Amino acid sequence: MSILTLKDATIKFGGLTAVNSVSFELNKGDLFGLIGPNGAGKTTCFNIITGVYEPTSGEILFNGKRITGTPSNKIAQLGICRTFQNIRLFQSMTSLENVVVGGFLRHKTVLGSALCYLPGAIKETEKLKLQALELLKLVDLDDVANTRSRDLPYGKQRRLEIARALATQPQLLLLDEPAAGMNPNEKKELLDMVKKIRDELGVTVLLIEHDMKFVMNLCEKIFVLDHGEEIAQGPPSEIRSNPKVIAAYLGEAV
């Protein structure tokens, strides 16, 4: 069953067409890779999907419902959450607090109850903290739960971003270059973690990644973007041998 559909999504910034008529479809439980050279428009795709930018034309469907032009906090509420290419953690908050903010949109009490410190708000906060701890365990960060996130090493910050996104209880998780700056060991751990997220939590994953080996090993379906346009789409084996893709990567394909 299709969970996310892009239909001819196009976005123009002034004279520049960053994404030109891109269409693809994600099924529930997919591990979907979005690749392409630098400046191909991958992150812009993410920005369109998560409502940071509104597409100039075309539409985006989530679970069959049109979400084009919905503000990004509403999109998170609907069940799409993302990580950022240039890590955007809440730097002076602890890891735990970061993840709690992720879970906040499932918080059920009103602000007044928090201001008066009523039992409802306290219970709800404790619930969120417990959930956050579980997630930190999942990404193997429970030992740094009370460390300020800006003091964490790079790889842990990336994992924390994933935990924070998972806390919103998404159906679809967008990962923007999750393996960037990681060493081979960390990459392998990350690979297992993403698989676990899909298998255990049932979250569909769409990811952008430059490391071909990582993408080919992880993803079941790959979409290749160049200069804002689709050049190939299909399973890793097909993509690997696609001459257009090889040309786009200047013969550097794996």
Partner 1 sequence: MKTFSVGDWTKSRLISVVVALIFCFLCQLAFGGDGLKIYLRLLFSLVGIYVTLAVSLNLINGITGQFSIGHAAFYQIGAYTAALLGSTYFSNMANHSSLLWLFMAMIFSAIVAGVAGFIVGLPSLRLRGDYLAVVTLGIGEIVNIIVKNQKSLGEAYGLSTAKYESTVFAVVLLAIICIAVSRNLLKTSHGLAFLAVREDEIASSAMGVNLTKVKVTAFVLGSAFAGAAGALYAHTKGFVGPADFSMDTSFLILTMVVLGGTGSITGTTCAAIVLFIIPEKMRDMHDLMLGVPIGVAIGIMVGVGMLKKIQDTFHGDGKVRFGMNIGSMVLGIIVAYGASKLLCTIHGLQTMVNGQLFRMPVLAITLVVVMLLRPQGIFGHNEFSWSWVQKLIGKKNVPEAEVAA
Partner 2 sequence: MTTLSALPLASVDFTTLPQQLVNGFLLGAIYALVALGYTMVYGVLKLINFAHGEVFMLGSYGALFTSWMLGFGPGGNEALTGSWVTLVIMLFGSMLVSGTAGFLIERFAYRPIRNHPRIASLITAIGLSLLLQYGGQIFLLQGGKQAINSKVNPYADDLTFNLVKPDQKLAAEAATYQKRVDDAQVAKDKQFEHEPDRFNPSPLGVSLEKTLNELKEKQSDITNKANLTAVTLKIPKGKLIMLTAILGLMCSLWYLVMKTRMGRAMRAVSVDFNAASLMGINLNTVITFTFILGSTLAGAGAMMYSTFQAAPIDSFSGAAPGVKAFVAAVLGGIGNIPGAVLGALVMGIAENLVTWSGYSSYRDAIAFVILIGVLLFRPGGILGSNKVEKV
Least separation in angstroms between CB 185 and partner 2: 29
Q: Decide: is 216 part of the binding site for partner 1 (CB under 8 A).
A: no
Least separation in angstroms between CB 32 and partner 1: 19
Q: Which stretch binds partner 1 (CB under 8 A): 36-44, 92-100, 186-194, 215-223?
A: 92-100
Cα Rg of the chain, angstroms: 19
Q: Hey, which residues between 39 and 58 contact partner 2 (CB under 8 A)?
A: 43, 47, 52
Q: Mark residues 68-97: x for contact with partner 2 by CB under 8 A, - for none.
A: ----------------x-------------
User: Which one of residues 10, 37, 101, 234 is an interface residue with partner 1 (CB under 8 A)?
Assistant: 101
Q: Which stretch binds partner 1 (CB under 8 A): 3-11, 13-21, 84-92, 237-245?
A: 84-92
User: Which one of residues 103, 155, 178, 228 is an interface residue with partner 1 (CB under 8 A)?
Assistant: 103
Least separation in angstroms between CB 218 and partner 2: 24
Distance between CA atoms of residues 251 and 78, nearest Å: 40
User: Which one of residues 42, 82, 156, 159 is an interface residue with partner 1 (CB under 8 A)?
Assistant: 82
Q: Decide: is 164 part of the binding site for partner 1 (CB under 8 A).
A: yes
Q: Decide: is 86 part of the binding site for partner 1 (CB under 8 A).
A: no
Annotate the chain with DSSP letters as a single string: -EEEEEEEEEEEETTEEEEEEEEEEEETT-EEEEE-STTSSHHHHHHHHTTSS--SEEEEEETTEE-TT--HHHHHHHTEEE--SS----TTSBHHHHHHHHHGGG--S-HHHHHTT-HHHHHHHHHHHHHHHHHHHHTT-GGGTTSBGGGS-HHHHHHHHHHHHHHT--SEEEEESTTTT--HHHHHHHHHHHHHHHHHH--EEEEE-S-HHHHHHH-SEEEEEETTEEEEEE-HHHHHH-HHHHHHTTT---
User: Which one of residues 2, 23, 92, 237 is an interface residue with partner 1 (CB under 8 A)?
Assistant: 92
Question: Which residues bind to partner 1, rule: CB under 8 A?
Answer: 50, 52, 71-73, 76-77, 81-82, 84, 88-93, 96-97, 100-105, 107, 111, 114-117, 119, 121-126, 128-129, 133, 145-146, 164-165, 167-168
